[in-house]
Structure 1
């Protein structure tokens, strides 16, 4: 990855653990640690260039620690190609000579490859096999599909078993152990296949699921829909029931003529009996007096 050099200054004041990575095709982050003997008010400045014809350019977007010291830099629109970049980090502090740090880096070696793109799975029930297809990861400097090889991981979601295949070339793979009653997921990542590509494995793709539950999902949706309709019907009937109760409470009840007649006649007859009885008692008393 190129040499790392420390130039004159007080020992232990140069930065340590300098690392750069390129990700998402054209973004680059470089980070470092403060020198082991550097004082708390030491400040560092990063400069870099990606060709001999260029002049060093200073960092425009520093990463800072809690004390405001520069501990990294963020870059955008970085072009890799087959470039070797020069990095220089100087330090400054009043009254102290800070060691400088310089490093050469092959940019393609520090790239974190994006996941493979457009992963699709086409299964054939009769042959119990699936064809998995994909496109290469995105890069700013490699256009040939043959520059990549892949690692593919297929998981049986029921048995929790995993099948791993490495160093697959091309852009397709036949999975020959497909069971129509099982559910699976597949993910891929890429690495170099003899070109100017990072030798490290790139990022994993998002798992793509396939198998039985592709059909079961429709049934699950129907069950959900039936449950929603049933709940709606219950709510409707409950609302109608409340409405009918309120309506019946405001309608006057019909009169019962037989009950009224019976109640009135009984009361009238009862009153007549009382009056007659009292009258007879008065007459009887008068006769006894006379």
Structure 2
């Protein structure tokens, strides 16, 4: 019995309401051993079995996927037991506070508004999505601003423990290009103390626009020259091709010329015949 229970049981909640639980098979379990997970997220409910198991290449259960999980202030009970040839093996039990295993989604709607007059940029965002926390004050943030041009000084500023939903980036250079990303964590509420996922980097500044314009100014002449060369090549090819093709015969021209020659020959013959006949008549 010892060593047949599952090991390294871990659960995470992500994307607000999805949960994955995984484990390793027991050290002394044989290939015939199969595991089954049961859970409940309230003591008022009964245990329910997993509906969507994660399996290894041998078909053995090594995890379970859940949907529509509600966190609130709940403690979930997990029970995993197994069977081997119809015989029960060592079971595994664990209690988990659900909000502690949540991976927070990225902060939402990250925007940047820069003004040349103040030489500063206001970065704004909305809190991450959760199913159980509605207060904005329940989150604090880490912000990273990077220089997209100067690779030696790529990371300009990393600021953590930001509360609220805005941040002023000072010393903004209007001729450079920057990017900003954020992530969230707990600020004294029922929120996971682990840092959540990073937001998609948002770029701001004018360096990229200038680079794009320069690139277009270089690309347009190259494309124009290529087009002219292509047309010139096609013209030379068509000219050579047309020179090797024989001109078509004109049947009407040749027919008219032949008929004219035959008619002229007949007229000469008829005239000579008429003269011979006339001479014969005079001799007679």
In the superposition, the TM-score normalised over structure 2's length comes to 0.79
| Residue of structure 2 equivalent to 1:228 | 223
Measured at CA, do residues 225 and 28 of structure 1 come closer, stay the same or move farther in structure 2, by a change above 3 Å? Answer: farther
Q: Which residue of 129, 138, 155 corresponds with 1:138? A: 129
User: After the TM superposition, which parts of structure 1 deviate over 6 Å for at least 4 consecutive aligned residues?
Assistant: none
Alignment RMSD? 1.9
Query: Judging changes above 3 Å, is the alpha-carbon distance between structure 1 residues 222 and 143 closer, same or farther for their aligned structure 2 residues?
Result: farther
Give the 5 Å matches for 1:154-193: 154-157=145-148, 158=150, 159-162=152-155, 163-193=157-187
Residue in structure 1 matched with residue 257 of structure 2 by the alignment: none
- Structure 1 unmatched ranges of 5 or more: 1-9, 253-290
User: Contact conserved, 2:81 with 2:88, CA < 8 A, in 1?
Assistant: no
Aligned pairs (5 A) from 1:40-55: 40-55=31-46
- Which digits, 9 at most, give the CA deviation of each residue in 1:93-150, with x for residues without a partner? 1375411111111111111111111211122223221111111112222222221110
What residue number does 1:103 align with?
94
Please name the residue that 1:115 is paired with. 106
1:127-276 aligned at under 5 Å gives the runs 127-157=118-148, 158=150, 159-162=152-155, 163-216=157-210, 217-248=212-243
In structure 2, the residue corresponding to 1:189 is in which secondary structure? strand
Is 1:19 aligned to residue 10 of structure 2?
yes
**Offset at 1:91?**
1.2
1:30 is aligned to 21
Determine helix, strand or coil for the equivalent of 1:131.
strand
- Could you say if the C-alpha distance between residues 135 and 221 of structure 1 is closer, same or farther in structure 2, counting changes exceeding 3 Å? farther
- Tell me how far apart the structure 1 counterparts of residues 116 and 86 of structure 2 sit (CA, whole Å): 77
Task: Tell me which moved more, 198-207 or 232-241.
Answer: 232-241
Deviation string for 1:164-191 (max 9, x for gaps)? 0001111111110212232222111111
How far apart in 1 are the matches of 2:23 and 2:215?
52
TM-score by length of 1: 0.78
